Amino acid sequence: MLLQACKNLSNSIARLEKRHAKVIPYVWGVLGVVIYTSSNLFVKSLSSEFSASQLLFYRSLQIFIYTVIFMSVENMEFYYNSSAINKLLQIRGMAGTIGIGLTYYALGLLPLSDATVLSQVYPVMTGILAVFVLNEKYEWSQLLSAMVCIVGVLLVAQPPFLFGNEGSQTIDSNTRILGTILLIIAGFTTSVVEVLVRKLGSKTNIGLTTLIFSFQATLISAFVSIFQGFKPMNWDQMVSVFLIGAMSFVSQMIRNRAFMLGNAGRVSNTAYFGIVSSYILDVFILGTKINVYSLLGAFCILSCLFIYILQIYYKEKKGVKA
């Protein structure tokens, strides 16, 4: 019964993708990033009590189990004979592990909204990497977005040499700068992941891509956690960990699908929607006091999305393919 329901859902999604082929990659992209941002709410709530490696271990282990079940239901291949594809999948898995680990650590240093804003600079890096790896065209909107993103990052990071002590009154300046650096590195690894997912395209399936990543992340985080020590969890914390894993799995599968169907540089821009959802969660759920400079930085980075929309508008107006 359950297997049949899953197959029916899969068939319905396939028909939906075929019917709305031009739009669906961006719909999946937006939905995936909103779910992922929401999962980070639970990571943030647990970050003061548990290490980033322990949270990553529980998350990755769940994703691995869910993926095995999903691939079994969909009759997906668990391994390819092509060494080139397997190498790309392994690199993608390692990059993803590093990125998520750094992001989880940074969530313990910065407010959820600031961490989300900084994590959204990766579309700029994705666009640049896509030029060299995928031979995609680098458009004027991406160059302008890069410049605006730099301003936004400075406003959120608030380095003392520019803002003095006034800018970082809610968080120690060194803590804020460390969190910023970690998230920029994580953003680069994320851009590597997205370009590789796009490069793999139809050569592999979304299940295997997620399976290898979750397997590597589980092993690495378990190794680190053994040395740091596992802390016991109460029932509420276990529920939060379950939600982190389940939501991350759904988000990752959806995002992977988006990048397999659409232009890597453009799909990556849907990540900006995470900024809006993170501020809503930070203010209304966590009750975080928002720093004015951080808010301005968020508007700068969010404006990158509207720059891209403006470019599409002018292209359509001139009858040029977007």
Highest-scoring range by mean pLDDT, 38-42, 303-307, 313-317: 38-42
* Residue-level pLDDT at 281: 80
Of 49-63, 99-113, 192-206, the least confident: 192-206
pTM of the complete model: 0.76
Confidence of residue 192 (pLDDT cuts 50, 70, 90): confident
Confidence of residue 7 (pLDDT cuts 50, 70, 90): low
* Residue-level pLDDT at 162: 64
Helices (DSSP H) in the chain: which residue ranges? 2-19, 24-46, 52-74, 83-107, 112-119, 122-133, 140-157, 160-163, 173-200, 206-228, 235-261, 264-267, 273-284, 292-318
* Residue-level pLDDT at 221: 93
* Residue-level pLDDT at 147: 81
Q: What is the CA radius of gyration of the chain?
A: 20
- 200 and 89 in contact (C-beta within 8 Å)? yes
pLDDT digits (tens, 9 = 90+) for 238-253: 999 999 999 988 887 7
